[in-house]
Amino acid sequence: MRRSLLSLTLAGAALLTACGAEEAAPAAPGAATVDGGTTAVRLGAIPIVDVAPVYLAQEQGIFAEHGLEVEAFLAQGGAAIVPAVMNGEAQFGFSNVTSLLQAEARGVPLGLVAPGAGPTGDPAADYALVMVAGDSAYRTAADLEGGRVGINTINNISDTVVRESVRQAGGDPSGIEFVEIPFPDMVAAVASGQVDAAFVVEPFATLGAAQGLRSVAAPYTETAEDLTVAGYFTSDRYAAENPDVVRRFTAAMAEANAYAQANPDAVREVLGSYTSIPPEVAAQLTLPDFQTEVNEDSVARLLELGEQDGIIEGDVEVSDVLTDVG
């Protein structure tokens, strides 16, 4: 039945790729105050499981309770979202932490204001896995040394955490050949032998398992059990000019993430409103943990690993990428 499910849903899944009543602060360019003093903002998101709380916050009225009207627009990644936030076309965006650290190291003034998703903490049941063919000789992350490993973006969070999994398993990651492959193509790349292994996230982990692939590593969990993988950010300018809006957005996302964590069925249902994940696949996914606070220690760990591996260059501190508006 699982193989039948795969054949029915691969085409659809491929489309995936990809506090209080205080007076609102004056809106920066691109934001607006609407009826009742509610602040309208735009949020750049990515069509992945991680941002489900945004859509739940809209459905459940969480943003409205915090005096916000949030328009979410979808992009394939930070290459489109970061410029939109920096030029005021959007007030908030979603990105992985390594990308934000890299941007800060290049002098782009932005910072995290709310966490997104993190690993489950269970290597046997996580939403992001390194998967190999069922008949592969690879059994642990250490076996990846010297192999070809598919990742969605080279020199970013994926190769950082894969390398760390290999190190922790006693292997040497220096000889790994990373191959950039879009997430929807990962399962086929492993099955065809194009790569020896691939780092996949849901729904592709579930689809891979349906085709007989198996896991040899859970890099997010193995890097830190409560790793803050990604989060919501704004520009330093917008935070300085609109601290109350940022505070309300931060509080709203914490509430939305807590709701998502407590209501996994609601998460699975809302996926159909902004992704192409079919309901029968959504029902089987391993969901991430939705965090209510940024784990600063894990941000520091990603910074340390990024510098060690040479993908974060420049003078950057953890505090530089964390926005504090009180």
* Residue 114 confidence class, pLDDT cut points 50, 70, 90: very high
User: Is 105 part of a structural domain of the chain?
Assistant: yes
Last residue of a domain, which of 223, 244, 271? 223
* Residue 16 confidence class, pLDDT cut points 50, 70, 90: very low
Same domain, 179 and 133: yes
User: Is 94 part of a structural domain of the chain?
Assistant: yes
Residue that has been written with the tokens 């936030």 in this structure: 85
As a residue count, the chain comes to 326
List the strands of the sheet with 177-180, edge to edge: 177-180, 148-151, 197-201, 128-132, 214-217
pLDDT above 90 covers a percentage of the chain that reads: 84
Indicate which CATH number applies to the domain containing 236: 3.40.190.10
Does 9 have pLDDT greater than 90? no
Q: How open is the CA angle 278-283-289, to the nearest 5 degrees?
A: 110
Q: Calculate the average pLDDT of the chain.
A: 89
Same domain, 107 and 171: no
Parent domain of 183: 128-223
User: Is 326 part of a structural domain of the chain?
Assistant: no
Q: Are 230 and 117 spatial neighbours (Cβ–Cβ below 8 Å)?
A: yes
Distance CA 259, CA 251 (A): 12
Q: What is the pLDDT of residue 246?
A: 97
Tell me how many domains the chain contains: 2
Same domain, 198 and 250: no
Q: Torsion angle of alpha carbons 277, 278, 283, 288, nearest 10°? A: 0
* Residue 77 confidence class, pLDDT cut points 50, 70, 90: confident
Same domain, 9 and 113: yes
Does 55 have pLDDT greater than 50? yes
Q: Read off the pLDDT of each residue in 164-191 and give the average, rounded to a whole number.
A: 96
* Residue 17 confidence class, pLDDT cut points 50, 70, 90: very low
Q: Read off the pLDDT of each residue in 67-91 and give the average, rounded to a whole number.
A: 92
Residue that has been written with the tokens 């929807």 in this structure: 184
Per-residue burial over 100-127, b if 16 or more Cβ lie within 10 Å, else e, is bbbbbbeeeebbbbbbbbbbbeebeebb
Give one DSSP letter per residue of 76-103, joined into a string: SSHHHHHHHHHTTS-SEEEEEHHHHHHH
Give one DSSP letter per residue of 216-267, joined into a string: EE-HHHHH-TT---EEEEEEHHHHHH-HHHHHHHHHHHHHHHHHHHH-HHHH
| Tokens coding 15 | 């489309």
